[in-house]
Structures are given as structure tokens and as C-alpha cells.
Amino acid sequence: MARPASRSVELPVPTLPESQLRGASSTAADAQGRARAIAAVTLAAFLSPVILYFWFIHNYGVNWLHADQWYDIKLIRSWFSGHLTLGELWAQHAENRIFFQNLLTLLLARTTHFNVVDEEYLGAAMLVGATALLILAHRRRSISVPWLAYCPVAFVMLSIAQWGCALYGFELGWFMVMLALASSLYLLDRSELTRSVMAGAVVAAVVGSFSSLQGLFI
């Protein structure tokens, strides 16, 4: 017996009222607007202490030798005269071993004619790098924390209250220690620690340890 021919039934497609569609699109647009506003505020909050720190050096940095920086002149003179020895590079300066700071000082002497202000700019760049690495190290394990929450870290790390260090080129060793510490933490604080990453952290720790006394804490 022949089966009756089947008929396709078209079901009505539910549609939202036009007012609800407009409301949904408006809500999405508002959310995007808020996200863009928060991103702009976050960027401005991060850039503010960086710009202020470099502006401070630009306006108040002076290319003159002060206190311990006269030690650098003796080191540079030995190098330029061809009498520099490993013992001079390794020699203890007060309570500090500043071997890597000495190497960087000689490099600056060759490239910038030992401009003290350039030393200060380099120290500021190292401090900005250290700040970024510390934030990124924490952010790796706390993805849900908004970037805006890290802005106080930048304000504290880059505060011009430390003007004595910011305007003293010889403090380059201290900034090297901060960057070495941040690099070590960033490399070590991860779910999987490879030999190459471990080696990088050890190198950073060694550089920090022999740039200033505080580096031994790394």
C-alpha cells in the first residue's frame, strides 16, 4: 500500500522585537566603550610615572662628576692608556664588587664620552624594565587581575622621591641589581622550568651579585 506523501512543515522563526534588538546592540556598544575607556586610562596611568621620571632627569640631570664617580675616571684613564687590568675591574669598591658596573661604565665612556646624564637615562631604562618584568611575572599567575591594578607598582618603582639615585650616575649598579632581580624572578616563576631558563636566571643573579652589594640577596 502506498504511503501518503510527507509534507514539510515550516516552523515560525522567533524574532525579537526591534526595541530589544536596539537595546542589545546599545549594551554591546556601551561595553566596548567602557573597555576602550579603561584601556586608555590604564595606558595613561602606566605612562605617567615613566614620562615624569624621564622628564625629571631631562630637566635636572647635570653632566658633572660627584663623589664615587671620580673612581670611574681612574678606571677609564687606565683603559684608554692601555694599562687596565682584570684586578682593577674586580677590585672591591667599599663593600661592593662592581665588576659588571665597571664594564658598563667603560662601554659608556667609549660610546658617550662618559656623559653622566646618559648614565642616568640608562639607569631609568633599567628601572622601567625591572618594573615591567615584576608586573609580568605576577600577571602570569593572576590573569584575572586587571592591568589597572598594577599601576600603583609603576608609581612606587618610578617615584621621583628617589631623586638622589635618579640624578646620580654612579647608582647605575643599583639599577642593574633591580633589573637582574626582576629578570631572575620572571625566569624562575613559571610552571615549567627548563635548563636554559634556569641558566638565564643564574646569569642574571651573577650579574646582579657583582654589580653592587645588594645583588647578593638575589
User: 114-144: per-residue pLDDT in tens?
Assistant: 899 999 999 999 999 999 999 999 998 888 8
Q: What pLDDT is attached to residue 65?
A: 85
The confidence band for 69, taking pLDDT boundaries of 50, 70 and 90, is confident
Q: Is the dihedral of CA 154, 157, 163, 166 positive or negative?
A: negative
Q: What pLDDT is attached to residue 208?
A: 95
Closest CA to 126 of 179, 54, 181: 179
Q: What pLDDT is attached to residue 5?
A: 56
Q: pTM of this prediction?
A: 0.81
User: 159-186: per-residue pLDDT in tens?
Assistant: 999 898 899 988 899 999 999 999 999 9
Q: d(Cα 174, Cα 183) in Å, to the nearest integer?
A: 14
User: 85-112: per-residue pLDDT in tens?
Assistant: 999 999 888 888 999 999 999 999 989 8
Q: What average pLDDT does the segment 54-67 reach? A: 91
Cα–chain center distance at 122: 13
Q: d(Cα 180, Cα 141) in Å, to the nearest integer?
A: 21
Q: What pLDDT is attached to residue 180?
A: 96
User: 1-59: per-residue pLDDT in tens?
Assistant: 555 555 555 656 556 566 555 655 667 666 787 888 888 998 999 999 999 999 999 99
Q: What pLDDT is attached to residue 124?
A: 95
Q: What average pLDDT does the segment 179-197 reach? A: 93
